[in-house]
Structure 1
Amino acid sequence: MSFSLRPGERVGIIGRIGSGKTTLEKLVLGLYQPSEGSVLIDGMDARQIDPVDLRRGIGHVPQDPMLFYGSLKHNLLVGAPFADETDMLHAARIAGVDDFAARNPKGYDMLVGERGESLSGGQRQSIAVARALINDPAILLLDEPSSNLDNQSEAQLKRRLEEASQGKTILLVTHRTALLTLVDRLIVIDGGRIVADGAKDQVIEALKQGRIGGVGGRA
């Protein structure tokens, strides 16, 4: 598998279950090492980049964000040891965290239960987006960011991501067609191979006409 992204490019990745999307994400994040070839970021082999610096430069929004028992503030700042309160509040505003923090008397000191049990799915995803933005990364890696949301919450998340992603490179893994408005280019993978790569509208039309295989499930 080989492809490149230009700075500021917005690319969607789709494919059936087991197609290789999850492996691709882990390679980008440095959690897996390629058995052959390399992952280059700004022309540098990712293996030569300190893992902490690598993950600071990539804002990752996972399907199921890991939240812990503690304050909202501490949950936002995890993984961002050099961020200050100004950074936190800026990211929280874009992600919509300030909406529900303002409704709680304790604000950002409000208690978040284990795994975020006291929050709605939309609120948990808002925290995940804020975490991804807090270090102002050049790259956003979005892994099914609306998988646990209803349609209304998904629409709100999409609006926030549109604002958050201005000027950033996006790599979006999703099976939700509603989120494809965030990208301009679409890559279809199947069996660890790229079976289509091109302008979003052209790839979608080819899929509708059955000229491309490799889609039909979630990773």
Structure 2
Amino acid sequence: MIGRRALLGAGAVVLLSACTPQADEPAAEVAPAGDWHGTFLSGGGAALPDVTLTDQDGKPFNLARDVTTKAVALFFGYTNCPDVCPGIMADMATAKRRLPEDLVDDVTLVVVTTDPARDTPEALKEYLRRVDESFIGLTGDLELIKPAAMSLGIDITEGKQLPSGGYEVDHGSYVLGFGEDRKMAVVWNAVPPGDLREDYERLIAL
């Protein structure tokens, strides 16, 4: 079930999904001009959180300060997500690979786990080896991750028990794009890789 619960700043919406695709666009102020395939936030949105987590190599990584590329595409998900998370991440990576050679290193793909209890650095590293090693995978204390996600309009709930004995984590499944100023500029919802690649180029050029 997808719920639109609150508006945060310029265009960020608290969204919750049981790891299922979201059917509606966030209630963001869409820019009057341009050809973005995602929802462009005129005036800019929330900044990348100044939070230090742990990457898949076990090293500290500050989300706001340690990315050096012109653009960032950020997703909150987890390795045990049954289907939606890997599909979204595959699309993110495919879009990056399709960029012109001189731009492919200008965007950083980041996934922050919503399930740090299971997603250790080692688990993230193995998962990203199968999905796409160009990602930076981040884990850490859920008490750090949840407010960082919420500051960007992404809600995360506690794990929900499944009949199989495992559990799934409800979380917003939008991909968030940040330009060189590290302010949220675009929100993507189920955008195909070709369109996402075009938006990566626009984001790099901001």
Kindly name which structure, 1 or 2, has the bigger radius of gyration based on alpha carbons.
Answer: 1
TM-score (norm 1): 0.27
In proportion to residue count, which structure has more strand? Answer: 2
TM-score (norm 2): 0.28
The structure whose RCO (Cα within 8 Å, separation 6+) is larger is 1
